[in-house]
Amino acid sequence: MAKEMNGVNPMFVVNLRFADDTDRDETLAEWGTRKILAGEGCELQRMGGRRLGFAGAVQNLDLGVSFVPDMPAHIIANWLWETVAKRGQRKFAVNSQRVLNLEDLVERVAAHLPMQGLHLQRLQLLQFKNLRDLDIRFSAYGSPAFDGDVPRRFSSHAVIGQNGTGKSNLIEAIITIFRDVDLGRDAAFDYELSYSIRGHLVKLQAKTGEQKRPYVWVDGRPQSQGYLLKNKELLPSHIFAYYSGRNERIEALFQEHQRRFNRRQEITAEETLPERFLTRFSGSEADIRIVEAIKRREESKTLSQFGDDRLRRLFYCRGGHSQLVLLACLLSDDPVFQKVLKNLHIESLESALFVLKEPHRLREKRRGGKFDEQELNEGDPRFWYARGNVVSEFLDKLWQVAWAPIEQEATKQIDFRGRSEKQKQLYLFVPSQDKLKQLGDLVGGTDSFFRYAEGAYIGDLIDEVRITVKKRVVGNDGHDGKVSFTQLSEGELQMLTVLGLMRITREDHCLFLLDEPDTHLNPIWKLRYFDDIEGVLTSDDAALAQGESQILITTHDPMMVGSLKREQVHILRRDGARTVVDVPDEHPQGMGVTGLLKSELFGLSSTLDIETERRLFRRNELFVKSPRTPEEDAELSRLSAELADLGFSTADFRDPDYALFVRKMAQHRRFRKPTLTPEEQAEQDAIADSIIDEILREEAGK
């Protein structure tokens, strides 16, 4: 696309159409034929002229753009705007895409920047469930909400829309795309996905009618799906999905990664040694070197086949994870973890009882007598002959710090139909926070504790953890401050799970997909939700600063989006068979709840209840009617009195201009419904503006 400039390949091309021949000639004389413009860490080099498809196009100039690494998009865009685009009546494009204003230029530039962190840039879906012709862009930077604001990078985005518009299906589509790529599967549907990660631009395009696997480009160069699997740093480290409740459809997308994870738990390096080598093994230094080489080779092969043995790439948040996240918070001195606990009024751990159980797969082997000699030799008899890193690196350490292990056989109900089964259980009691911290030190810290404990939970070795914490008593509620984990509210557990998981994996390039995580949150927590997320993902450690994640949230609640910029909000709606994605015209930040509900984001015609709104419409209708019958006069008086008690005064009707406005608006009855489409809102606004203009003209003519 562009020749090198000073040894640096330009990231993209800007196309400049001059206002007229004079502007062109003067500018070319000023710049010279080969002059490079430089400033603010950016460079421009003339690449030659060509004609573009603008109406009445005259000579255009192509300019290659390069810049220092990690240059923010808004700085590059501002420099380009001031240097190239703003003078005269010039028309401007980036890679042949027309730029309308500075805000548009920021978005165009950001789309061509390889970021160190993870950032989904654009997703196009031809058809996925009820999504049709979807085209959604996730801006990395946005325009300031207030004068003097500095544009900042967005790590979080919200998707809103009425029920049935496909918000959950959007999350499901993203999970399916990355699942199939990571498992080396064929594409399930047609799509195009562009994202930036670790300084690279990755584009996936699936055309199932042409080939089964998606086309892949990395930094503009064609690659293959296999290339991504060999270079896993080009994929998100982890994809977390959270749904407030049970979503079996979403959960099913994670089953294969969970199966591989469980298989990985049981693999030991000894299984991979060839039998012919074992029969000739003498214990010499040469034999030991051979063993180590075989272990490394086979372990690498196993890792590529079954994944990381501590945390899966695709991770579905379940109810049991909240217990483990709470323990991770309690054993950490991280100030962010401490803030999460403070918000939940939790001061310290009183005790934790780990209830382990015999995994179903091992119980079936025991009952069927299917254990082989190797499994019996390598397995740990304390834990029903389970084996692997979770046993050696976590359960063994838990045994060391726990008091008086107790074994028992219990009858457990396994489903809502009342069916039950007998389970062998092992109780390991951690009596204090000091003992929990000792366990954390033994396993390698907070992150390792969670990853190993989560592995035991998913591996069917942990049934539950019965936690008692000391809470700060707020008010006089009659307890002594000691609270069981089961007494925490659903809202507390949601905040704990989501924020804790984000903090634990903050150094990774993760994608968090949260489907209505606000279901059980109180208004205060909803208002500060996105601020809390930003705080959790921020690190004071410079070494972690590059590991940026991205969060995509679906919601119906205006309180959740009240702190966001317009570029962070995406409104899904139906337009015939198509799925349209709109970005608000105004920033939600500063609107307030009532303003948000009546804006294009939610489209309510009023925030009043239906009955009060009906009375207002009827009162205004009677007010503008002339003449009125005695019965209508009596009805108007009654409605005015009832509404006055609710704070709706008729005093404004004494203003003749207001009265005239009400009379004219009352004629447009089609807007009297609970919700308005964006087109109806625009039409209503236009009618109101025209009425006001008419009143002002009449006033001016008096």
CB 217 within 8 A of CB 223: yes
pLDDT at 637 (0 to 100): 86
The residue ranking higher by pLDDT, 277 or 405, is 405
**Residues 181 and 106 both lie in one domain:** no
pLDDT at 74 (0 to 100): 62
Number of domains in the chain: 5
Q: What are phi and psi of 129, to 5 degrees?
A: 55, -120
**Residues 194 and 318 both lie in one domain:** yes
pLDDT at 169 (0 to 100): 93
* Mean per-residue pLDDT, 379-396: 89
**Residues 372 and 429 both lie in one domain:** yes
Q: Tens digit of pLDDT for each residue in 466-508? A: 999 888 765 555 455 677 777 777 777 778 888 888 887 766 7
Short-list 181, 170, 190, 257, CA closest to 218: 181
d(CA 498, CA 515): 11
* Mean per-residue pLDDT, 305-318: 63
**Does 329 map to a domain?**
yes
Question: pTM to 2 decimals?
Answer: 0.72
The residue ranking higher by pLDDT, 607 or 521, is 521
d(CA 172, CA 253): 8
Mean pLDDT of the chain: 75
Residue 249, pLDDT > 60, answer yes
The residue ranking higher by pLDDT, 617 or 405, is 405
Residue 53, pLDDT > 50, answer no
**Residues 89 and 213 both lie in one domain:** no
Residue 357, pLDDT > 70, answer yes
pLDDT at 191 (0 to 100): 96
The listed range with the strongest mean pLDDT (200-204, 265-269, 529-533) is: 200-204
**Residues 634 and 570 both lie in one domain:** no
**Residues 645 and 620 both lie in one domain:** yes
CB 383 within 8 A of CB 362: no
**Does 497 map to a domain?**
no
pLDDT at 112 (0 to 100): 64
pLDDT at 639 (0 to 100): 84
Q: What are phi and psi of 325, to 5 degrees?
A: -65, -40
* Mean per-residue pLDDT, 54-64: 52
d(CA 481, CA 196): 47
* Consecutive H or E run containing 404: strand 403-413
The residue ranking higher by pLDDT, 262 or 284, is 262
Boundaries of domain holding 286: 255-306
Q: Tens digit of pLDDT for each residue in 613-639? A: 788 778 777 877 778 898 888 888 888
Query: Within 13 Å and on the Cβ side, how many CA atoms surround 680?
Result: 15
Residue 66, pLDDT > 70, answer no
Q: Please say which residue of 62, 78, 110 terminates a domain.
A: 110
For residue 132, what pLDDT band results from cuts at 50, 70 and 90? very high
* Mean per-residue pLDDT, 381-406: 90
CB 382 within 8 A of CB 402: no
pLDDT at 372 (0 to 100): 79
pLDDT at 49 (0 to 100): 44
For residue 2, what pLDDT band results from cuts at 50, 70 and 90? very low
**Residues 322 and 355 both lie in one domain:** no
Q: Measured between alpha carbons, how far is residue 232 from residues 178, 214, 237, 505 in Å?
A: 12, 16, 8, 17
CB 276 within 8 A of CB 543: no
Residue 304, pLDDT > 70, answer no
For residue 59, what pLDDT band results from cuts at 50, 70 and 90? low
For residue 227, what pLDDT band results from cuts at 50, 70 and 90? very high
d(CA 548, CA 388): 31
Q: Over the Cα atoms of the chain, what is R_g?
A: 32
Q: Within 10 A of 104 (CB to CB), how many other CB atoms are there?
A: 16
Please tell me the total number of residues recorded for the chain in this structure: 702
Annotate 549-579 with b (16+ C-beta within 10 A) or e (fewer). Answer: bbbbbbbebbbbbbbbbbbbbbbbbbeeeeb
Q: Please say which residue of 110, 142, 168 terminates a domain.
A: 110
E strands, 35-117, in order? 36-39, 42-50, 60-67, 91-94, 97-99
d(CA 15, CA 50): 9
Listed in sequence order, the DSSP H helices in 48-198 are 73-80, 102-110, 167-182
Q: Tens digit of pLDDT for each residue in 507-546? A: 678 899 988 887 777 777 777 777 777 777 765 544 344 4
Quick one: the chain helix, strand, coil %, rounded to 5? Answer: 45, 25, 35
* Mean per-residue pLDDT, 413-417: 69
**Does 494 map to a domain?**
no
pLDDT at 402 (0 to 100): 94
* Mean per-residue pLDDT, 419-443: 90
d(CA 534, CA 336): 11
**Does 3 map to a domain?**
no
* Consecutive H or E run containing 362: helix 360-368
pLDDT at 253 (0 to 100): 87
Q: Please say which residue of 83, 110, 137 terminates a domain.
A: 110
Q: Within 10 A of 352 (CB to CB), how many other CB atoms are there?
A: 26
**Residues 548 and 565 both lie in one domain:** yes
**Residues 180 and 322 both lie in one domain:** yes
**Residues 366 and 228 both lie in one domain:** no
Tokens 């009023």, residue located? 606
**Residues 245 and 323 both lie in one domain:** yes
pLDDT at 70 (0 to 100): 57
CB 455 within 8 A of CB 261: yes
**Does 240 map to a domain?**
yes
CB-neighbour burial class of residue 506 (10 A; exposed 0-12, middle 13-18, buried 19+): buried
Domain of residue 565, CATH code:
3.40.50
**Residues 235 and 178 both lie in one domain:** yes
Residue 548, pLDDT > 50, answer yes
The residue ranking higher by pLDDT, 168 or 109, is 168
Residue 57, pLDDT > 50, answer no
The listed range with the strongest mean pLDDT (188-192, 269-273, 500-504, 518-522) is: 188-192
The listed range with the strongest mean pLDDT (140-144, 358-362, 428-432, 561-565) is: 428-432
Q: Within 10 A of 476 (CB to CB), how many other CB atoms are there?
A: 6
d(CA 464, CA 513): 25
**Does 164 map to a domain?**
yes
Coil, helix or strand at residue 465: strand
* Mean per-residue pLDDT, 196-218: 92
**Does 499 map to a domain?**
no
For residue 383, what pLDDT band results from cuts at 50, 70 and 90? very high
Query: Within 13 Å and on the Cβ side, how many CA atoms surround 474?
Result: 7
